[in-house]
């Protein structure tokens, strides 16, 4: 059987940028290796979750791996709790959280200026864990990467329901789906129950108590005092979003689609998805430098000898897009093309390896947010003939023979090609 290298470039799609001659960062980037895949293969576009939905990465990754998030996603909090190995049981309430900056109740910065270190966040989390007490409940706050974290609350009285609203105003909860909002009021939102159950009312009350009382502890923390002395924003608020209250019972990806899967991931959310779907995470360094991308390329080529399929999730393009830095996003895409694809493609056998590259969502540098726009897809390599595509970009791929696809359609098609 052929092998699959399946790469997701986080937040890759974008709007045309006036400063880039009305090209997107991907279209403006010099990407000879991605373009070569397009020229040898077939292209199309993907709406990862659904028309009009600007998805968060977790539900989009579920979809592009062949799992419909409307039916099978447990909530991002659960995914991230699993990803970092926290003690989570059905009936607990797990949230993805951000350390943020507030002049209560106004939110000054949802990500603490993007310069809160992982060590600082861990110290802040430890202080909250030591100091805060909730009525008839326990909790664990775990800092993960930089401003990101996970919160698990457990009631001593009864179960909790995740059918509650977010306190992070930048995201709306729609069932199990987390939907990013382009515009929002920058104030701490109050957690409200979405049904009349005691479990939801209890969850909302505990969430509000945690957010309000932890903010007082964080505001007085010496970590934040030190940040203020150096004119940095304090991480004096914790915003909660996308709660979950049960671990899902999912069909492993091997049983659903056939291949034995490994994965390379950077963030806890992707590691949690890998664990829930029965993928084997491959140890790899966090992507910080060009050398790290080259290391991932070598590790990926080696890992393809041990797995039928390898899923690789690269965060790079998403971060500068959230800050509106179009030229930096272009440069990151060029770096990925040069240091990852430029290294890995010569090391794999194109006659035996199917290569697919897409994204989980578009992140607009103009709107500084996730958008519902389609993302580009290329499929090249084993058994795939050229459809005449010239390059890998949003508008070029829209003309490709694969046409418009839904996220959940990608992996079934790839699995069919592998079995040829």
What lies within 8 Å, CB to CB, of 416 at 6+ separation is none
Classified as helix, coil or strand, 333 is helix
Q: What is the pLDDT of residue 324?
A: 96
**Peptide linkage before 105 cis (omega within 30 of 0):** yes
Q: What is the pLDDT of residue 1?
A: 74
pLDDT digit of tens for each residue in the chain (420 aa)? 789 999 999 999 999 999 999 999 999 999 999 999 999 999 999 999 999 999 999 999 999 999 999 999 999 999 999 999 999 999 999 999 999 999 999 999 999 999 999 999 999 999 999 999 999 999 999 999 999 999 999 999 999 999 999 999 999 988 778 888 889 999 999 999 999 999 999 999 999 999 999 999 999 999 999 999 999 999 999 999 999 999 999 999 999 998 899 998 788 898 999 999 999 988 888 888 999 999 999 999 999 989 999 999 999 999 999 999 999 999 999 999 999 999 999 999 999 999 999 999 999 999 999 999 999 999 999 989 999 999 999 999 999 999 999 999 999 999 999 887
Torsion region of 213: left, alpha or beta (phi above 0 gives left; psi -120 to 50 gives alpha): alpha
What is the C-alpha to C-alpha distance for residues 83 and 218, in angstroms, rounded to an integer? 25
Q: What is the pLDDT of residue 266?
A: 80
End-to-end Cα distance, the chain: 8
pTM of this structure: 0.91
Torsion region of 11: left, alpha or beta (phi above 0 gives left; psi -120 to 50 gives alpha): left
Q: What is the pLDDT of residue 407?
A: 98
Per-residue pLDDT tens digits for 298-356: 999 999 989 999 999 999 999 999 999 999 999 999 999 999 999 999 999 999 999 99
Asked if 34 and 378 count as a contact pair (C-beta separation under 8 A), the reply is: yes
| CB-count exposure of residue 113 (10 Å: 0-12, 13-18, 19+) | middle
Joined together, the tokens standing for residue 236 give 């004096």
């Amino acid at each position: 059987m052929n092998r699959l290298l399946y790469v997701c470039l986080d937040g890759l799609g974008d709007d045309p940028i006036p400063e880039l001659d009305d090209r997107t960062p991907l279209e403006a980037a010099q990407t000879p290796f991605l373009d070569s895949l397009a020229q040898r293969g077939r292209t199309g576009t993907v709406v990862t979750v659904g028309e009009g939905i600007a998805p968060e990465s977790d539900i989009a990754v579920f979809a592009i791996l062949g799992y419909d998030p409307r039916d099978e996603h447990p909530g991002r909090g659960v995914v991230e709790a699993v990803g970092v190995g926290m003690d989570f049981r059905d009936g607990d309430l797990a949230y993805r959280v951000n350390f943020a900056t507030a002049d209560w109740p106004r939110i000054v910065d949802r990500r603490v200026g993007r310069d809160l270190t992982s060590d600082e966040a861990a110290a802040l989390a430890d202080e909250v864990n030591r100091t805060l007490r909730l009525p008839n409940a326990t909790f664990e706050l775990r800092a993960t990467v930089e401003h990101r974290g996970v919160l698990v609350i457990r009631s001593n009285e009864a179960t909790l329901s995740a059918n509650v609203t977010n306190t992070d105003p930048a995201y709306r909860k729609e069932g199990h789906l987390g939907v990013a909002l382009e515009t929002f009021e920058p104030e701490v939102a109050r957690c409200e129950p979405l049904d009349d159950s005691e479990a939801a009312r209890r969850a909302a009350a505990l969430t509000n108590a945690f957010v309000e009382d932890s903010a007082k502890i964080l505001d007085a923390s010496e970590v934040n005092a030190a940040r203020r002395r150096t004119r940095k924003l304090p991480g004096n608020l914790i915003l909660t979003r996308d709660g979950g209250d049960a671990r899902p019972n999912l069909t492993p990806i091997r049983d659903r689609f056939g291949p034995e899967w490994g994965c390379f991931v950077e963030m806890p959310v992707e590691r949690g998805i890998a664990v829930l779907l029965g993928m084997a995470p491959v140890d790899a360094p966090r992507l910080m430098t060009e050398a790290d991308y080259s290391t991932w390329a070598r590790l990926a080529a080696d890992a393809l000898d041990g797995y039928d399929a390898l899923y690789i999730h690269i965060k790079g393009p998403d971060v500068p897009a959230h800050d509106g830095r179009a030229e930096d996003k272009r440069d990151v895409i060029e770096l990925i093309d040069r240091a990852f694809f430029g290294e890995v493609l010569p090391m794999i056998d194109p006659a035996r390896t199917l290569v697919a590259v897409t994204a989980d969502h578009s992140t607009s540098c103009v709107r500084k947010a996730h958008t519902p726009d389609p993302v580009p897809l290329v499929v090249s390599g084993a058994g795939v003939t050229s459809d005449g595509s010239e390059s890998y970009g949003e508008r070029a791929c829209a003309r490709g023979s694969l046409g418009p696809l839904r996220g959940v359609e990608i992996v079934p098609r790839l699995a069919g090609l592998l079995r040829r």
